Amino acid sequence: MRPNFSNIQILILAFSCCLLIGIVIQTFDVEGIKPRYNTEKIQQLAQQEMAGADTYASQFFGAEAGDIKQFFLTNDQQFASYWYENGLLSYWSTNEYAFRFPNLKNLHGWNYERASNVHALFKWYPVSDSTGLLIMIPVKYAFPYENKFLKNKGVPPFDGVDVDIYSDTASKASAVYDSTGNYLFSVGSEQSVTEYSFVQWIGLTAFSLAFLLLLMLYLQLTLPVRKHPKRNFFIVSFFFVLVVTVILWLGYPELIFKNPLFSVHHFTVNPLIASFTHLSAYVLLFFVVARSFSIIFRSSVSRFVSIIIVFSYGWLLFEFLRNIVLHSVITINFYLLSDISFITVWVHVLLFIMLMGGYEILKVAFPKLFTFQLSAAIYLVLATVLSLGLTHHLQQQKKFTKYQILTENVRLNGATRQDPITELLLEDLSYNLQNDSNLTVLLNPNDSADRFKEYLLTNHLQHFSSKYEIDISLVSKQNQQVWNYIQMLQHTGTKVGTTNFYNLPESLYEMSYAGIINLLPLDAHHYSLLIEFKNKRNFRSYSLPDLLINETANALQQKDISTARYENNLLVFSDARYDWPESGLLFERSTDGFFKLKHHRTTYFLQQHGKTKIVITEMNNPGRIDKIFYYILIIVLFLLAARIGSMLNRLIHHKIPVSLGLTGKFQIVFTSLILISFISTLLFSVNYFRKNYEQEQLQLSEKKRHYIQASLQETLFWVNDITALSEQRISGILQDLAYRYQTDIHVYNQHGELAGSSQNLLFSKQLVSKLIAPAVVFGENMPVHLNEKIGQLNYLTTYAELINGDYIPLGYIAIPQYFSQSEINQKINQFLIALIQIYTLIILLSIFLLIIAGNRLASPLKLMEEKLKTMKLNGRNARIEYRGNDEIGQLVEQYNRTVDELEKSTDLLLKSERESAWRTMARQVAHEINNPLTPMKLTIQQLQRLKLQANEGFDAYFSTASTTLIEQIDNLSRIAGTFSQFARLPETQLQEIDIAARLYSSVELFKNNQDDVSVHYSGPQSGVMVKGDPEQLIRVFSNLLKNALQSIPSGGSGRVETTLWVEPDQVIISIKDNGVGIEPEAQKNIFKPNFTTKSSGMGLGLSISKAIIENVGGTITFSSEVNKGTEFTIRLPKLA
């Protein structure tokens, strides 16, 4: 583009604004100054809720006695309500909150309490001392731990409350009061949040835009529009690389380098490349430098430099891929949908940018290879395949090394099988055993050991019996072997919380957990209880573990590998995540070492040491088809992105409107229809899978309800009162049924209170209330299915009546149905993979067919377009042969008729134009010839008269007349030559010429003029190549420079400025003077033959110049203003 600093000024201004916004947010951190939820806001919400509860209580006491049940069944308020009669809980509105009910007699007004799973406000509305209404307003969840279902967030309308809530009557700082001024609770500091706030995201966006604007400014500053563009490129590039490197090294601003998108845990190499943020900045910088390099050094580097460029780019790309694979914790190649994440997608974006930067560099190194249209696409396909293949190879090497270390560690130190749910149960078990006074009684010598073990299994260990084989031993602490056993546990095991249980390497000790519990001393003897848990080989888990375990513990279990140990080719240990064969003959090798095996579609990693084999396999092994479709998908996306980038580049930089041909339009329309079909099918299918899954689970739950109800009826055949059985006994019964039917089971008595559960952790951890859903016990008709919730988990519970053998009601059975999101996602992912593969093939096939069909349709149209472009009025135009009888055939037929009619019209027009041209030319020639003929005729006539008169002056006049006649004859010869030259220009001899050198030499010739006019030149003095006729172009420059000099009146301060600048695809030359200019009415005829504004000349110079420029594919235009000057502009195609 022409030197113009307005773009640079706009970029600097925009860069400064974005940088200023980011610095302000970085410095003042608006979110840190003003928390989202302050004390006043929480107090306002609390008082609104308390006023609503008071109104509800007034309505409740105003209702008739028979409407009490209805009030609790229809309570749609956010608060919970409880009705007490004579100190006993009679009705409740929800079973979501595990609420420890306070001493009702001591309650006055609104009070605060941290209940088991919620921070709450409550108020007692008494009728008498022990009868009345208790209303609880939940403020914020208070679960003992957090995971994806259990979040300690505010309960509506306190949504988003991320502050600590506590009671501190001493300080009462940031206190919340009720409407009467009574203290309720205090609000602490906002809990630490790893996610950015809205304002911080604005700051991050501002800094990111500032960096992109900085790169755009670099491109503007390195454009080849100044003297010494190559030197300017190296200086500006060095400065920008240095600035970016310093910024990355300092790690400022922190809003960018500590953003939640790219953590140092994901990727780090060194302080200069400490995260994906640093790597992204370097990749973008590499691309813009490569782009600028491509513009400036087009085909002007030597073969040696080309080789260096290629090797440098290859090394840079290899290091880029190697560092990403070896220094990151992510999987680059996402063969499976489960591998896709924001970071993996971003890595592929960076890879695409790297490849496009390499394309810009290789265009300079090998310009001839990138001249044809498909060169960019072929390069991108080959480079993508090689890059993805290299990452796959590096990842396999990394995986091989990792599994080699892992198997060696398992062989030497064993493999542990951690179960977070078991460890939670062990914490409860440890507490219960140490506080069970019955154990001391059972230690009486009169009681047998079998009775002691039976008591433990029935009352404490029933939750473990389905998964583990349990060994129980009573040992004396004075025994040295016991002390040795304890030391073994401490040395090789991992302690479970604060208990005396340890998680052991099962592959070494054939047990998963073991512990020693100290019992109360008996007769001066100190006894300990030794309990060992051995995994049952075929155990199947049925609970929802994500609900019961801490988020950190859950993250540790998210492994996609399974481990097994073989001794003498017999399976002695496996983590039960994979169906391992009992025999190890499949993995038999003749030598010891580490091997990678493949059997069918499964890959194994084997560590063999003597008779011991440690084998690892991955749970999700992508198949060959998955890998092929991954390659195809990435190639298609890269080609599409490159196509869009090319169109945007043409549109923005070259101001060329992006137009699509018929084939392109067909492809876009058809591909869009396929994509719309794909998205519609996907949305419909996902919704269908979810509903179908829920329906299947509902039907399965209905079957389980009948089976469980019948089984419990048979088991409790002679029981008349469920409360007569202990909770441990009922839970033991439910454990067996739960494992048999693979579902949790809760049993409630007739008052709606929990009698027993197969999953006591839900209630012992107080995640949910021990009360039944009120609609079941208070409704006229017991609902079969109810939607309930624990924290963020919504689930369906199926209810049934619990009856004995005489069909006497004992209570209620609740069967919660947790819809497994992972199971749903697995089905959806399998379907989605198949759908993507099918649609990918359809899209590729449709594009291929559309290209063929489009070419068949477009070929006659293109031929017609070419014919129309080459159509001449003074020649014969060829007809188009097309045999089809369709719409295109009719169009072709009409074109052929038009060609025939045009040919006839052209003959007539040419004949008329020739006659008119001859007449015009004849008049012009006659006019030009008559001018010298008249004085010649008069001279000859005078000679004749003097001769007849024998005049003495005849000789003298004859000499003068001869000179005059010769001059006029020369004038006639010049006129004839000029017209001949215009009629027949010399044939143009096209060759590569340095247009800058030719123009510079022409300007130098005119600098030493006689008129004291200053002539200036700006731009490159050499090195700008075009195709043209050197002699003819010099004639054009000379003609324009001479016209410029002649347009300047004598005595004035004349100035002629000649400028040359280079754009990516053209060379522009400007010759500007400050002369008299051209009158507006004369401007339209300036290029016509025989038209001139000067007193001398034939008016053919500009006509000839225009013809010369157009013959080489260029254009010549002008702009002029009277008394200010004229500027002629020549545009010539630039050689690549």
Question: Which residue, 662, 663, 683, 627, is CA-closest to 846?
Answer: 663
Domain residue extents for the chain? 37-190, 223-405, 419-556, 690-826, 897-982, 985-1133
Share of the chain above pLDDT 90, in %: 13
Q: How confident is the model at residue 556 (pLDDT cuts 50, 70, 90)?
A: very low
Q: Count CB neighbours of 471 within 10 A.
A: 13
Chain segment 474-515, per-residue pLDDT in tens: 887 677 788 888 888 888 888 888 888 998 886 667 778 898
| Token pair recorded at residue 256 | 């960018």
Q: What is the pLDDT of residue 50?
A: 93
Number of helices and strands in the chain (H, E): 30, 30
Grouping H, G, I as helix, E, B as strand and the rest as coil, residue 190 is strand
What mean pLDDT do residues 294-313 have? 80
- Once rounded to an integer, what is the mean pLDDT over residues 148-177? 78
Beta strands in 146-286 (DSSP E): 163-166, 175-177, 183-190
- pLDDT bracket for residue 973 (50, 70, 90): confident
Model confidence over 697-718: pLDDT tens digits?
788 888 889 999 999 999 999 9
Confidence of residue 981 (pLDDT cuts 50, 70, 90): low
Average pLDDT over residues 308-336: 85
pTM of the model: 0.65
Q: Are β-strands 1014-1018 and 1055-1063 bridged in parallel, bridged antiparallel, or unpaired? A: parallel
Average pLDDT for residues 186-192, to the nearest whole number? 64
Average pLDDT over residues 710-728: 90
Name the residue among 969, 930, 917, 874 with its Cα closest to residue 1090: 917
pLDDT band at 558 (very low <50, low <70, confident <90, very high): very low
CB atoms within 10 A of CB 75: 19
β-partners of residue 137 are 121
pLDDT of 432-460, one tens digit each? 888 887 777 776 655 567 778 888 887 78
Check residues 1036 and 171 and name the one with the higher pLDDT.
Answer: 1036
Helix (H) or strand (E) holding 266: none
Residue 1016 near residue 1056, CB atoms below 8 Å = yes
- φ, ψ of residue 430 to 5 degrees: the values are -60, -45
Strand order in the sheet with 80-85: 88-92, 80-85, 132-141, 118-126, 110-114
CA-atom Rg of the chain in angstroms: 47
User: Is residue 567 predicted with pLDDT exceeding 60?
Assistant: yes
Residue scoring higher pLDDT (28 or 524): 28
pLDDT tier at 1024, thresholds 50, 70, 90 = confident
Helices (H), 812-886: 821-869
Measured distance CA(619)–CA(641) in Å, rounded: 34
Q: Which fold has domain 690-826?
A: Beta-Lactamase (3.30.450)
Determine whether 1014 is exposed, middle or buried from the number of CB atoms within 10 Å of its CB (0-12, 13-18, 19+).
Answer: exposed
**Per-residue confidence band for 332, with pLDDT thresholds at 50, 70 and 90:** confident
Taking the alpha carbons at both ends of the chain, their separation in whole angstroms is 16
The continuous run of DSSP H or E covering 683 comes out as helix 662-715
3-state secondary structure of 1012: coil
SS (H, E, C) 97-125: CCCCCCCHHHCCCEEEEECCCEEEEEEEE
Q: Which two tokens stand for residue 1124?
A: 């200010």
Least confident of 535-539, 584-588, 634-638: 535-539
pLDDT the model gives residue 884:
66
The stretch 1051-1080 carries a mean pLDDT of 86
The confidence score (pLDDT) of residue 1047 equals 85
Residues 6+ apart with CB under 8 A from 760: 428, 463, 731
Mean of the pLDDT values across residues 295-306? 76
**Domain 985-1133: CATH superfamily, name plus number:** Histidine kinase-like ATPase, C-terminal domain (3.30.565.10)
What gap in Å lies between CA 262 and CA 277, rounded to an integer? 6
Cβ proximity of 143 and 127 under 8 Å? no
> Are 118 and 140 a contacting pair, CB within 8 Å?
yes
Of 1042, 1025, 1036, 1031, the closest CA to residue 1109 belongs to 1036
Find, among 783, 805, 785, the residue nearest to 795 by Cα. Answer: 785
Contacts (Cβ under 8 Å, ≥6 apart) of 201: none
CA-closest candidate to residue 497, choices 562, 561, 553, 575? 553
pLDDT at residue 1106 in the model: 86
Predicted confidence (pLDDT) per residue in 792-848, tens digit: 888 889 999 999 999 999 999 999 988 766 667 667 777 777 777 787 777 777 777
For the ranges 171-180, 303-312, 752-761, the maximum mean pLDDT occurs at 752-761
Q: What's the confidence (pLDDT) of residue 1132?
A: 92
- Whose CA is closest to 568, among 595, 587, 553? 587
Q: 390 vs 410, which has greater pLDDT?
A: 390
Strands 1055-1063 and 1066-1073: antiparallel
Comparing 1054 with 746, which gets the higher pLDDT? 746
DSSP string for residues in 750-813:
TTSBEEEES-THHHHTTSS-SBPPHHHHHSSS--SEEEEEETTEEEEEEEEEEE-TT--EEEEE
Per the document, the length of the chain is: 1136
pLDDT at 1095: 47
CA distance 1034 to 714: 113
* 65-73 average pLDDT score: 71
Buried b (16+ CB within 10 A) or exposed e, 315-353: ebbeebbebbbeebebbbbbbbeebeeebeebbbebbbb
Query: At residue 1043, what is the residue type?
Result: N
> What does the pLDDT read at residue 773?
92
How many C-beta atoms lie closer than 10 Å to residue 256's C-beta?
26
Report the candidate in 594, 456, 570, 461 with the shortest Cα–Cα distance to residue 519. 456
Q: pLDDT (tens digit, 9 = 90+) per residue, 607-654?
A: 998 888 999 988 777 778 878 888 888 998 898 888 888 877 777 665
pLDDT at 670: 74
Q: Give mean pLDDT, residues 32-56.
A: 77
- List residues bridging with 534 in a β-sheet: 469
Predicted confidence (pLDDT) at residue 372 exceeds the cutoff of 80: no
At 299, the pLDDT band (50, 70, 90 cuts) reads low
Supply the mean pLDDT for the chain: 80
